[in-house]
Amino acid sequence: MTKTIIMPNRRQFLAGSAAAAGTLAMPSILRAQTRELVVGGAASHREWVETIVIPNFEAKYDARILYEGTRSLVNLEKMQQNQAQQYLSVVQMDDPVMILAHEAGLLEPLSAETVPNMAKLKDGAVHLDGAWVNYLQPFQAIAYNEEALPNGIESWEELWDDSMAGRVVIPSLQNTEGVFPLFMAAALETGKPVAEAQYDIEAGFRKMQALKPNLLTIYTQMPQAFNLLETGEAWAIAGALSSFTMPRRAEGSPVNLAVPREGAFAAPSGVCVVRGGPNQDLAMAYVNELLSVELQNQLTAPTFSLPTNVEAATPSDLPENIEVLSVDWANVANNRADWVQRWDREMAI
């Protein structure tokens, strides 16, 4: 299979930057000595990374950061292709993709010695003995149309109510967030907590099939689902992301995010240090800063996320003390292909 060569372009860019700096006078000599860090992440995160994270870090460490925004799987491919000589030092990507990177030996373990703020993280924010950590918790629950449901949604079980016939939208199991309604369905079917019920996938599929009379559609693209919600054709979207729902509400859309009494799910926002990447000490410092109280207090509001540092504050417009449910992503990675095949067979509408 022909593979795209990515690293030379990046190196050429960095080399070109250094060469350009070298042609300038005295101040440029100082810039040439400034160390650089290339951070990979989601394209949608570029604004808050470049306006909040990078200025804070560069001022504190006299370093230069280049942020490459794309998708998690693309960042994984870059790490795999450049394994012999990495140019990425840090990557921010989804937990399910982190598992694949960890299994491929691409992650440098984090520890309290190299990343001291790890000691201040919530339970469940450190994965596989420090292979990666979660820096924020965008949470996923149920988005609803406030005009159709003025009293909101108090329980996930309400999605199965007869009054919701033809008004519910759920994500495909091909989407990362598709596992959340499935695991909650298993919990409702068995009466077990999600921590146990996520392994009873038979119960989950049984309960999801009972939801079919209430389904309007199953989406693979979240914006399409929100278009249905905003027009009132759909009344509820299961597994909707806080960082996707709340900005639309702030812009005037008649939507809101319900956090039912059973809890919400933690969206998998992870950060790792790339094994063999340049400036490992600086990369560890970047992760440490991302986990700091000071930076998380600046990031939670614009990202509509909960902090993972226990000492950071929750913004006033986000719910406090909600139960944020964690998912065993290793179990998901091991079984997801079979689940998707079964989903396509049993959940077609």
- 236-261 pLDDT, tens digit per residue, is 999 998 888 988 998 999 999 999 99
Instruction: Read off the DSSP letter of residue 309.
Output: B
Residue 232 backbone class (left: φ over 0; alpha: ψ -120 to 50; beta: rest): left
Q: At what angle do helices 179-190 and 329-346 cross, to 10 degrees?
A: 90
The per-residue pLDDT for 304 is 86
Express each pLDDT in 323-344 by its tens digit: 888 888 889 988 988 999 999 9
Q: Are 315 and 125 in contact (CB under 8 A)?
A: no
Mean pLDDT of 175-184: 92
- How would residue 13 be classed by pLDDT, with cut points 50, 70 and 90? very low
Instruction: Read off the DSSP letter of residue 52.
Output: I
Q: Are 339 and 105 in contact (CB under 8 A)?
A: no
Strand 269-274 versus strand 90-94 pairing type: antiparallel
Q: How far apart are CA 88 and CA 274, in angstroms?
A: 7
Mean pLDDT of 46-50: 93
Alpha helices in 104-152 (DSSP H): none
Q: Are 110 and 280 in contact (CB under 8 A)?
A: no
Q: Which residue has the higher pLDDT, 348 or 289?
A: 289
The per-residue pLDDT for 26 is 37
Express each pLDDT in 77-130 by its tens digit: 999 999 999 999 999 998 889 999 999 999 999 999 999 999 999 988 999 999
Residue 19 has pLDDT above 50, yes or no: no
Which residues are CB-neighbours of 5 under 8 A, at least 6 positions away? 81
- How would residue 163 be classed by pLDDT, with cut points 50, 70 and 90? very high
Strand 324-325 versus strand 264-266 pairing type: parallel
Q: Which residue has the higher pLDDT, 43 or 3?
A: 43
| 186 membership: H or E segment, kind and range | helix 179-190
Q: How many percent of the chain have pLDDT more than 90?
A: 70
Express each pLDDT in 268-295 by its tens digit: 789 999 999 999 999 999 999 999 999 9
The 10 Å Cβ neighbour count of residue 311 is 11
* Bridge partner residues of 240 (DSSP): 141
Please report the sign of the dihedral spanned by the C-alpha atoms of residue 88, residue 93, residue 97, residue 98: positive
- Residue for token pair 């996923």: 140
Q: Using alpha carbons, select from 95, 98, 119, 94 the residue that is nearest to residue 107.
A: 98
Residue 213 has pLDDT above 50, yes or no: yes
Q: Which residues in 272-301 are b (16+ Cβ under 10 Å) and which e? A: bbbbbbbbbebbbbbbbbbbbeebbbbbbb
Query: Of 191-200, 209-218, 326-335, where does mean pLDDT reach its minimum?
Result: 326-335
Q: How far apart are CA 243 and CA 173, in angstroms?
A: 20
Q: Are 306 and 137 in contact (CB under 8 A)?
A: yes
The per-residue pLDDT for 56 is 95
Residue 178 backbone class (left: φ over 0; alpha: ψ -120 to 50; beta: rest): alpha
Q: Which residue has the higher pLDDT, 112 or 138?
A: 112
Residue 8 has pLDDT above 50, yes or no: no
Supply the mean pLDDT for the chain.
88
